[in-house]
Structure 1
Amino acid sequence: MKKSFLYQEHTREQITQMAEDGYMVVVALAATEQHGPHLPVFTDSLIGGAVATEAVEQAAKAVPVLLCPLIPIGCSDHHLRFGGTLSFSSATYLQMLRDIGESLVSNGFRKIVFLNGHGGNEPMMHQTANDLAVKHPVWTASASYWSISREALRAVNADEVGMVPGHAGGFETAAIMALREDLVAKEELATEHEGRAWINSGPAGTFIGRHQELTGVDGYTDAPHLATKERGERYLEAINRSVGDWLIKVYHSMEQGEESIKAPS
């Protein structure tokens, strides 16, 4: 019988054995927060959960990997003023991720990956991965799905609908149409939106923001009216393929590193 790639479907003995066998474990991060007047507050969790599930299932065909249950609440304080948002403060979120990492280390895992689906989680995610690798003899990695799939999304012209990934704009709207079109309030899809040139204006790894406008005017970055289900399906396919391939590469990098440590100098 084929082993499930879902962490929660195994017993404690099975999980302990998989940790001993060198399985890599993926922790998927998302959010529950406002996404404008047209998308559900579970948008990041719907997209992030789908990407994590599809990508890990793909990777599991090639390498031993487990997917932990999705964490559907993130660091979203910058959305609270719009309503509908559940959030951890940045300090609480950082500690929560550390605690999850410590749990996995206690369970015996030596290869831990954080896969993110909400921008506000990213700094604490990277810090957690760094802290765990400093404190314990483990391998860690962390990335957001849009960073992993940037080139693939460019190849399928994802920016044809607006900012990628943006927030509640054409890109995320297309993805939700592909996953749960019934949750999109199509009568609320704006055809025009006041842009902010400074959003994502710097090179990768930089930050620029303004009080009460971190996610654009009225809580979203760009008009979503160009989104379609077919476009969303194309974008998600590119993301899933890229993330799945990345997970396989990460596993092999960790495994090779482990062997180099064990080998005599």
Structure 2
Amino acid sequence: MTEPVFPRTLLWQDLTSDEIAACRDSGAMVVVPVGAIEQHAAHLPVETDARLSTFVTRLAARRVTALPVLVAPTLPFGFSPHHLSHAGTISLRLETYLAVLGDIAVSMVDSGFRRIVFVNGHGGNNAPLRAKVGQLVTDGYPVATVEYWVPGESQWIPKLLGALRRGGHACEQETALMLALADDAAEAERIRAAARGMPPRTIQPWIAPGYPDDPVTEAGAAWPPIFQADDGGYYGDPAVATVETGQVLLEIIVERLAKFFTDFAAAPMRLGVSRDPARPSIAQPLVGNRT
């Protein structure tokens, strides 16, 4: 097997066209951070989802040693109509978002890359991303999607200190990660001060205030978490977030995402529609099969 050739940087936008072509010919995989620009309560910036998906994706890509993993420019805008009651939210319409995802993926595959991963940082993007990936894969385009926090979820959830033992929105998890990745001490202190005193919120925001039951969660049904103008804009327990928790969560999340990148690149995957049982269509691994 030919040894992979690693470029001088893994950031797509900092490479020349010739360098990107060399990465492609060396069997590189491309990962695309996707996020959202939307309100994150009074303590986190509207760029939180895009920033976290970008940082985590870049850190995970650097840990992969089996092949080069190029990190494409982040798609910052997502599907966020449920946050539009609050200033600062910029949402693409569903049809626009699906079209943009498709154009990005098709551009990369048509230029010769054999495996693409959208790394999602916003829960509201999940359903559109999965639907689009389903269409792309059956159309013959080798594209996957993963939410950055999911591969390590079973390991980082027990590290949470607050009342909501899962991810939410502008929650302990996101707040702790933003503290760990803050540019300076002043920014971290601003986040801590703004989150201080926020009461835990463990009932989904789709339930009207004061109603005691949540039939949507109980049945596993679907309803977007509508954050209207009278809403505090968060779901979880951000007040208990600490830099230390964020550092622990970040290490787990990055390590498990890097493992997913490596394992996914080495896995033969069914691709497209093949009606001949003797000739199934398989997307070949980018790296040698694991022993």
**In which range does the TM-score fall when normalised by the shorter chain?**
0.7 to 0.9
- AA paired with 2:94? S
Question: Which of 175, 185, 194 matches 1:188?
Answer: 194
Q: Please name the residue that 1:225 is paired with.
A: 239
Question: What is the SS of the residue equivalent to 2:145?
Answer: strand
Mapped to 1, the partners of 2:215 and 2:246 lie a distance apart of 22
Distance 1:219 1:124, change over 3 A: same
**Runs (5+) with no aligned partner, structure 1:** 261-265
Quick one: which amino acid aligns to residue 241 of structure 1?
E
1:148 pairs with 142, 147, 151, which one? 151
Equivalent runs, 1:97-108 vs 2, <5 Å: 97-108=101-112
Name the CA distance, whole Å, in 1 between partners of 2:12 and 2:251.
Answer: 24
Per-residue Cα deviation, 1:196-245 (whole angstroms, up to 9, x for no partner): 16499458xx543367359x942210231111111111101110001001
Question: 1:219 aligns to what SS in structure 2?
Answer: coil
Q: Distance in 2 between matches of 1:200 and 1:22?
A: 44
Shift of 1:164: 2.5
The residue that corresponds to 1:126 in the other structure is: 130
Tell me which residue corresponds to 1:263: none
Q: Which runs of 5+ in 2 are unaligned?
A: 205-213, 271-281, 286-291
Which of 169, 172, 181 aligns to 1:167? It is 169
Residue equivalent to 2:254: 240
Secondary structure in 2 matching 1:253 = coil
Query: Displacement of 1:64 after TM fit?
Result: 2.6
Name the SS of the counterpart of 1:93 in structure 2.
helix
* Distance 1:54-1:232 versus aligned 2 partners, 3 A rule: same
Structure 1 residues 144, 171: closer, same or farther in 2, change over 3 A? same
Deviates more, 1:186-195 or 1:22-31: 186-195
- Counterpart of 1:37? 42
CA contact (8 A) 1:202 1:208 kept: no
Q: How far apart, CA to CA, are the structure 1 residues paired with 2:89 and 2:247?
A: 27
| 1:152-185, Cα deviation, whole Å (9 max, x unpaired) | 213x523646342210121111111111160644
Out of 209, 225, 231, which is 2:223 matched to? 209
Matched with 1:253 is 267
Conserved? CA contact 1:53–1:67, under 8 Å? yes
Higher helix content, 1 or 2: 1
| SS of structure 1 residue aligned to 2:84 | helix
**Is the aligned partner of 1:117 residue 2:131?**
no
> Scaled by the length of structure 1, what TM-score is found?
0.85
TM-score norm. by structure 2 comes to: 0.78
User: What is the aligned residue count?
Assistant: 254
Matches within 5 A, 1:19-58: 19-58=24-63
Q: Cα offset for 1:132?
A: 1.8
Larger Rg: 2
